[in-house]
């Protein structure tokens, strides 16, 4: 969980990264669901921007609700409200 939180803190404002990419970045490429579980336990969403982690085919989950996740991403310029807009979102590679 600590490695996931550390990796997600590196995702810059206005960018998104997939659960799978976070899993790969922490050395567990098959553990995308575990990344989601770790982020569900995030107690500091202001410090650890878990709203910037998205699924391959959609926004994924968010403790405060998907509406809040989408609003936060729209405010940051990483709009994910439709499939065509999802392609425009800035995806980052965590190393």
Instruction: Residue 91: name the closest of 82, 80, 75 by CA.
Output: 80
Taking only the tens place, the pLDDT of each residue in 31-63 is 999 999 999 998 888 789 999 999 887 777 787
Taking only the tens place, the pLDDT of each residue in 12-31 is 998 899 999 999 999 999 99
Distances in whole angstroms, Cα of residue 77 to Cα of each of 19, 30, 48: 19, 29, 18
CATH architecture type of domain 2-91: Orthogonal Bundle (1.10)
Q: Is 28 a catalytic residue?
A: no
pTM, 2 dp: 0.80
Residues contacting 95, CB < 8 A, separation 6+: 25
Q: Taking 60 as the threshold, does the pLDDT of residue 81 lie above it? A: no
Distances in whole angstroms, Cα of residue 49 to Cα of each of 46, 54, 83, 84: 6, 11, 22, 23
Give me the catalytic one of 50, 53, 73, 89: 50
Confidence of residue 71 (pLDDT cuts 50, 70, 90): confident
């Amino acid at each position: 969980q600590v490695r996931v939180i550390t990796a997600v803190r590196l995702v810059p404002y206005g960018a998104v990264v997939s659960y799978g990419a976070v899993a790969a970045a922490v050395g567990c490429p098959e553990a995308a669901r575990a990344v989601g579980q770790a982020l569900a336990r995030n107690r500091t969403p202001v410090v650890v921007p878990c709203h910037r982690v998205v699924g391959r085919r959609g926004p994924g989950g968010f403790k405060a609700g998907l509406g809040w996740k989408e609003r936060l991403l729209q405010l940051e310029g990483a709009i994910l409200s439709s499939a065509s807009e999802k392609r425009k979102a800035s995806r980052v590679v965590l190393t």
